[in-house]
Structure 1
Amino acid sequence: MPYPKGFLKNRSVFVPGKYAVISDEGRVTNVVPGIKGCAMTILASPKLGANFVQLIGTVSEKGHTTIPYGREEGVESFLFVLDGAGTLKVTVDGRAETLAAGGYVYAPPGKGVGFASAGDAPVRILLYKQRFVPHPDPEMRRPWMVTGSIRAIEERFYDNMENVFVRDLLPVDEAFDMNFHTLAFLPGGCHPFVETHVQEHGAYIYEGQGLYLLDEEWIPVQTEDFLWFAPYCKQACYGTGLTRMEYIYSKDCHRDEAI
């Protein structure tokens, strides 16, 4: 890494118990057992306050896993190919798929995601895992492997607003206790109201820029920022800039709260 140009700076913000904005200039590479030939950064974990773990990283032409990521009993996992010219071979419980940019795979609890570069070019990925909360009905089926691409999912208007668009990446089914979505704002688009809810989010902005309300602060955010919002943290967004803003985010769902 070269000497810095000018004063050291970092746009990241962390308010314990409420929210975090992790910008790309402060990232460090973490060693993650079972992942080889990849430069991975841990963005979120219980140390942050999150109930999940999320990573971002570059998979080189020789990158691969030696053990499936998130294969612990009761843990579910998710992989999303952010960008890159290459392809990634992913395996869940013996089933193999090939993913390009925009592709994703969900692994049910205890299965984990194995992956290996096809050797054509590097790709960047998001990796995610959390502890699965079983459905209270013992007759409810368990979640199943899901794979697809955001490029094959038709966007729909978000809350009937014609300048905000959403896509569901996982089935809207009570068998699943989580979902991943993409949310996109045309310039000037916004949430219909300031949200306060029991769900927490992890969001990765991969296009554009915006102004995000987190608790009591409006914070400028942009491409490559990762955001974490704790449950009940007030949140809303305006898309700003000359192009649309888009991010992928996680959401816990379909479960009551323990008491």
Structure 2
Amino acid sequence: MSKSPYYYAPHGGHPGQDQLLTDRAMFTEAYAVIPKGVMRDIVTSHLPFWDNMRMWVIARPLTGFAETFSQYIVEVGPNGGSNKPELDASAEGVIFVVEGEFSLTLNGTQHAMRPGSYAFIPPQSDWSLRNNGSEAVRFHWLRKAYQPVEGVPYPEAFVTNEQDIEPIVMPGTEGRWSTTRFVEISDMRHDMHVNIVNFEPGGVIPFAETHVMEHGLYVLEGKAVYRLNQDWVEVEAGDFMWLRAFCPQACYAGGPSRFRYLLYKDVNRQMPLTLGGLKR
């Protein structure tokens, strides 16, 4: 993209005691909306083996909520980071940077991460992260238990930046709707896609998408009216939406600026035939 990147990131804090509750948080059987206004200090969490960090957990495997993934917005202060960030040997991950610069060492190679940087981290990778700057950094960290398939190799680690990837325009949309893909659809090694969906002002999803993938959508930029199940919901930069499988969705990006979101979905695997994929 030719335009310099801008991504919304939460900074915490609390509203004053003189403020009334006028927010848009919703939790239903089909979808949830976690608006930016509720991502305050009091709802942050912390992890072992991390220094000077906190995070907003916006999705986690939970009955009646996300089933396949977790998603954090991580804030790391100066001299913060971790030499032991991932404790689950089955977990794959994606890091997407929204604010600040830091160093990521992945399988022995050091990478300078900046806004727009994207890292795919396969299971059992050797990686660490350190903020050597004087300002806090913020990034999304998405995690999923990798589903290996006999005869299909594990995916390889890579680091890139969305500015180096040409978005793919959806057919018949005159360029108003496009997707920045970090992994090829046909690559069966990958069982999740974390992409960026882009709408120019006036761009729409003009039908109710109803499909099997679970979705997580974090709005990076702009605002829109989004259809979730039977409801039209106003969303803006900093909001997160979770959609369960088969939840109908559509979108109208009214402007005045672009509407863009970071999208998670599970892909490329057989559907489990027992509840939760467990053998009885």
C-alpha contact 2:219 2:238 (8 A) present in aligned 1: yes
Which segment is superposed worse, 149-158 or 55-64?
A: 55-64
Q: 2:194 aligns with which of 173, 180, 184?
A: 180
Displacement of 1:120 in angstroms is 4.5
Displacement of 1:244 in angstroms is 0.8
Q: 1:15 maps to which residue? A: 28
The structure that is strand-richer by fraction is: 1
Q: Which runs of 4+ in 1 moved over 4 A?
A: none
C-alpha contact 1:203 1:248 (8 A) present in aligned 2: yes
Q: 1:164 maps to which residue? A: 177
CA change 1:113–1:13 in 2 (3 A) is: farther
Which segment is superposed worse, 187-196 or 219-228?
A: 187-196
How far apart, CA to CA, are the structure 1 residues paired with 2:179 and 2:238?
A: 19
Q: What's the TM-score once normalised by structure 1's chain length? A: 0.91
Displacement of 1:95 in angstroms is 2.8
Q: Number of aligned pairs?
A: 253
Which segment is superposed worse, 118-127 or 50-59?
A: 118-127
1:57 aligns with 2:42: no
1:245 aligns with 2:259: yes
Identity of aligned residues (%): 30
C-alpha contact 1:68 1:112 (8 A) present in aligned 2: no
How far apart, CA to CA, are the structure 2 residues paired with 1:114 and 1:149?
A: 19
Query: Secondary structure of the equivalent of 2:92?
Result: strand
Q: 1:98 maps to which residue? A: 112
Displacement of 1:82 in angstroms is 1.1
1:25 aligns with 2:37: yes
Displacement of 1:68 in angstroms is 2.3
Q: 1:127 maps to which residue? A: 141
Which segment is superposed worse, 107-116 or 157-166?
A: 107-116
1:45 aligns with 2:57: no
How far apart, CA to CA, are the structure 2 residues paired with 1:195 and 1:148?
A: 29
1:213 aligns with 2:230: no
Q: 2:166 maps to which residue? A: 154
Which segment is superposed worse, 29-38 or 246-255?
A: 29-38
Q: 1:144 maps to which residue? A: 156
How far apart, CA to CA, are the structure 1 residues paired with 2:106 and 2:216?
A: 23
Q: 1:118 maps to which residue? A: 132
How far apart, CA to CA, are the structure 2 residues paired with 1:160 and 1:82?
A: 31
How far apart, CA to CA, are the structure 2 residues paired with 1:148 and 1:174?
A: 20
Which residue type is aligned with residue 170 of structure 1? V
CA root-mean-square deviation: 1.7
Q: 1:3 maps to which residue? A: 16
Query: Secondary structure of the equivalent of 1:25?
Result: helix
Displacement of 1:188 in angstroms is 1.4
How far apart, CA to CA, are the structure 1 residues paired with 2:194 and 2:239?
A: 17
Q: 1:230 maps to which residue? A: 244
Q: What's the TM-score once normalised by structure 2's chain length? A: 0.85
C-alpha contact 2:25 2:33 (8 A) present in aligned 1: yes
How far apart, CA to CA, are the structure 1 residues paired with 2:169 and 2:15?
A: 45
Gaps of 5+ in 2: 1-13, 274-280
Which residue type is aligned with residue 242 of structure 2? W
How far apart, CA to CA, are the structure 2 residues paired with 1:59 and 1:112?
A: 19
Gaps of 5+ in 1: none
Which residue type is aligned with residue 154 of structure 1? E
C-alpha contact 2:46 2:53 (8 A) present in aligned 1: no
How far apart, CA to CA, are the structure 2 residues paired with 1:129 and 1:113?
A: 14
* Residue-by-residue CA offset, 1:24-76 (whole Å, 9 max, x unaligned): 2212211222322123111111136212110013222222014123x412211
Which residue type is aligned with residue 60 of structure 1? G
CA change 1:211–1:63 in 2 (3 A) is: same
C-alpha contact 2:206 2:251 (8 A) present in aligned 1: no
Displacement of 1:171 in angstroms is 3.6
